Chains A and B, each alone.
Chain A
Amino acid sequence: MDMLKKFSGSSLFLPVVALSVLLIFNTLFVDGFLTIQMTEDGHLYGRLVDILNRSCSLIILALGMTFVIATSGIDISVGAVVAISAAVVCTLIGGRGDGVAEMPMTLAMLAAVGVGVLCGMWNGLLVAKFKIQAVVATLILMTAGRGVAQLMTEGQIITVYYKPFEYIAGFLPNMPLPTNIFIALAMVLLVAVLMKKTSIGLFVQSVGINPTAARYAGINVTMVIFLVYAFSGLCAGVSGLIESSLIRAADANNAGLNMEMDAILAVALGGTLLSGGKFYVGGSVIGAITIQTLTTTMYALGVSADQLPVVKAAAVIIICLIQSKKAQEMFDKWKASRHSQQKNDTKAVIGKAVKQL
């Protein structure tokens, strides 16, 4: 009971409630939602695995976005950077029909992530050094990035036939879950450890709350801001690898399309305020999973194609309302009134006992 109380007060409570509502709804209305089977080649197979598998790239993007938003910035270029990273890895490995890689895959992957970091550093430079507003600064890459990706792929969808390329978002031999889940997990763990063991989180937070005060406290504000954008770029680069490996191709037009919005939504659903300051990495991860669960739910329920956006929007509104300040106040009030009622009840009982004495 105590644990429950503690949890209901924690920042993760509402995001978890929102996700649980969705999951319970699915369990009730979607046949076999929870079933997970083992296929003949030892892979886990089921809707829950799909949700995790498909939310990986969003989780990773949301990680980077959380820090950016915590410094009261925003990065709307991540979708385009995903496309660039996908284009880099696929053009370097090459679309040869005989399944031979033109360049070692590790090198191509490093190059793709490296280009992602470079893009992030460019954003960081504009925001931290030149003090350009974050939306404007990252808008540049958002519009230009897809063009860059198209130039690299020459407007084609480059299909990679090189077998090991599937492993990034597919199954390594003898692994029950696809690799991208492990990649996402590793990145989340890395961030969690950094938060726990170092004061990076505190730096980011103080920059978000009051950069001037942070500077007076001896924090290198410019560096912190620069680094969060670079990290966001790194996350986008890794996402690009996963996105391209999922379809074994670089699709410059559609890879990561509108993902920046989903990533921002994930961070918001996770309880981090867009005005910066306090941030919740765990919340963002759950937010990302919630968004993917929603998409999967729509497909599973067979919502017809033309109604899909409307139903999705309605669901997002409900989730946001559950997590709004007003709802929280109402929830607190309800808890308080129940609490005082309980007190009154005990008082009455005690009163009765006293009388009896």
Chain B
Amino acid sequence: MKKLIALLLASVMMIVAAGCGGGEQAKDSGKSGGGDKKITMGFSQIGAESEWRTANTESIKKAAEEAGINLQFSDAQQKQENQIKAIRSFIAQGVDIIAFVPIVETGWDTVLKEAKDAKIPVVVVDRDVKLADDSLYVAKIGTDSVKEGNNVFKWIDEYMAKEKKTPRDGGSQYNVVVLEGTVGSSVAIRRQEGFKDAMAKSPNAGKYNILASQTGEFTRQKGQEVMESFLKSYGPKIDILFAHNDDMALGAIQAIEKAGLKPGKDITIISIDGVKGMFQAMIEGKANCTVECNPLQGKLLMETAKKILAGEKVDKLVYVDEGVFPADVAEKTLPERKY
């Protein structure tokens, strides 16, 4: 028995020793090498909740490879605590730069302070953060969610005028229902803000009425369930559906069909993101427009990271290019879509 325990102990110690050695080696290769060393970037992605997010992840992975950056990728599976853990482990590993997509806006102060104390620059990607001290991150790369919201309203206003649509309930206002994203996420807040702002500023503001607005948590399933409920409450009144992302719109389309209505005709459908599934739906005539929210942020992220590490000055806010894709260009555009 004693022998067995001794053997066990010895083997455990050996494993531990080997583990330590490996760790140091890895650290060395990260730190040493001087000027032309390979940059190591710690990146925390929120998960893979949609095709869009997958495209975002792939773009970042590919761009890192092309730029010769060693990417430490961590998937947070939709949990903030996982992201905080990941960032802490990046700090412990001593990576050169940390980038992350924050799942919610708040609660980052402590961990980013730790990164700053460790002198590791932080880049916020895609979504926004609320911090008491903005110097905790160096740059933010992403999409302009407010502008996307603006574009949604602008497109709706032009489309309704062009198609000479009349409100289905015979009244003087178009009734809009909104499927919001995850409660508290910067994207959901800003898209809604942009949409409402554009509406308030438009001369046609009086023509539109937001009938209901509820969270569909950015998922197909919830989008479908909430739309079902909207249809029960206001079925014959709804003219326009604005979904904060394509997946919720795709779920809602199924609910609308189930209710015996024609999505895209009885109810005008517009959403944001521009995933392939939405283009497919537009080609089938079941949706009307998607405002692109460009996930291909990898290249810009790697460029910015290199600049930061080279000591160059970068803008605090860097936006990627984005477009608007109505149904009539869907067929032509689909083959070119990367996500």
Residues of A within 8 A of B (CB): 31-32, 39-41, 43, 45-47, 50, 54, 97, 146, 150, 155-157, 159, 170, 243, 246-249, 251-255, 295-296, 299-300, 302, 304-306, 308
Contacts and interface: CB of A to CB of B under 8 A. Distances in A.
A146 B183 CA distance: 23
Given A157-B50, A251-B221, A253-B78, A302 B214 contact: yes
B221 A247 contact: yes
Contact of B221 (A243, A305, A308): A243
Contacts of A249: 220
B215 A32 contact: no
A305 B188 CA distance: 11
Given A155-B48, A157-B51, A300-B232, 18 more contacts: A32-B232, A45-B259, A50-B228, A50-B232, A156-B48, A247-B251, A251-B219, A253-B47, A253-B78, A254-B49, A254-B217, A254-B220, A299-B225, A299-B226, A300-B229, A302-B233, A305-B180, A305-B215
Interface string B244-284: 00010011001000111000000000000000010010000
B221 A302 contact: no
Nearest to A33: B232
A119 B332 CA distance: 45
**A-B pairs, 3 with minimum CB distance:** A305-B215, A299-B229, A155-B48
A247 B224 CA distance: 8
A247 B221 CA distance: 6
B206 interface: no
A40 to B, nearest CB: 6
B260 A248 contact: no
Nearest to B275: A157
Interface string B41-77: 0000001111100100100000000000000000001
Given A249-B220, A253-B49, A306-B183, A146 B54 contact: no
A47 B232 contact: yes
A106 B47 CA distance: 31
Contacts of B250: 159
Contacts of B21: none
B173 interface: no
22 contacts: A39-B259, A40-B260, A45-B260, A47-B229, A50-B228, A155-B48, A155-B54, A155-B57, A156-B48, A157-B51, A157-B247, A159-B250, A247-B221, A251-B49, A254-B220, A299-B214, A300-B229, A302-B233, A305-B183, A305-B213, A306-B183, A308-B215
A296 B232 CA distance: 11
Contacts of B47: 253
Contacts of A45: 258-260
Contact of B277 (A155, A159, A306): A159
Contacts of B212: 302
B184 interface: yes
Contacts of B51: 156-157
A246 B50 contact: no
Contacts of A300: 229, 232-233
Interface in B195-222: 212-215, 217, 219-221
B229 A296 contact: yes
A170 B226 CA distance: 17
Contacts of A304: 213-214
A50 B229 contact: yes
B224 to A, nearest CB: 6
A151 to B, nearest CB: 11
Nearest to A45: B259
A253 B77 contact: yes
Contacts of B232: 32, 46-47, 50, 300
A305 B214 contact: yes
B189 to A, nearest CB: 10
Contacts of A54: 225
Contacts of B224: 246-247
A331 B239 CA distance: 50
Nearest to B188: A305
B254 A247 contact: yes
A6 B274 CA distance: 60
A248 B280 CA distance: 15
A354 to B, nearest CB: 63
A319 to B, nearest CB: 21
A252 B228 contact: no
A336 B297 CA distance: 71
A78 B242 CA distance: 34
A161 B258 CA distance: 16
A12 B47 CA distance: 42
A279 B229 CA distance: 34
A104 B56 CA distance: 34
Nearest to A253: B49
B68 to A, nearest CB: 25
A294 to B, nearest CB: 13
B11 to A, nearest CB: 23
A150 B57 CA distance: 14
A37 to B, nearest CB: 10
A181 to B, nearest CB: 14
Contacts of B228: 50
A56 B20 CA distance: 52
Nearest to A244: B221
Contacts of B183: 305-306, 308
B338 to A, nearest CB: 14
A219 to B, nearest CB: 37
A254 B48 contact: no
Contacts of A248: 254
Contacts of B78: 253
Interface centre among A45, A46, A254, A296 (most CB of B within 10 A): A254
Contacts of A32: 232
A247 B48 contact: no
Contacts of A296: 229
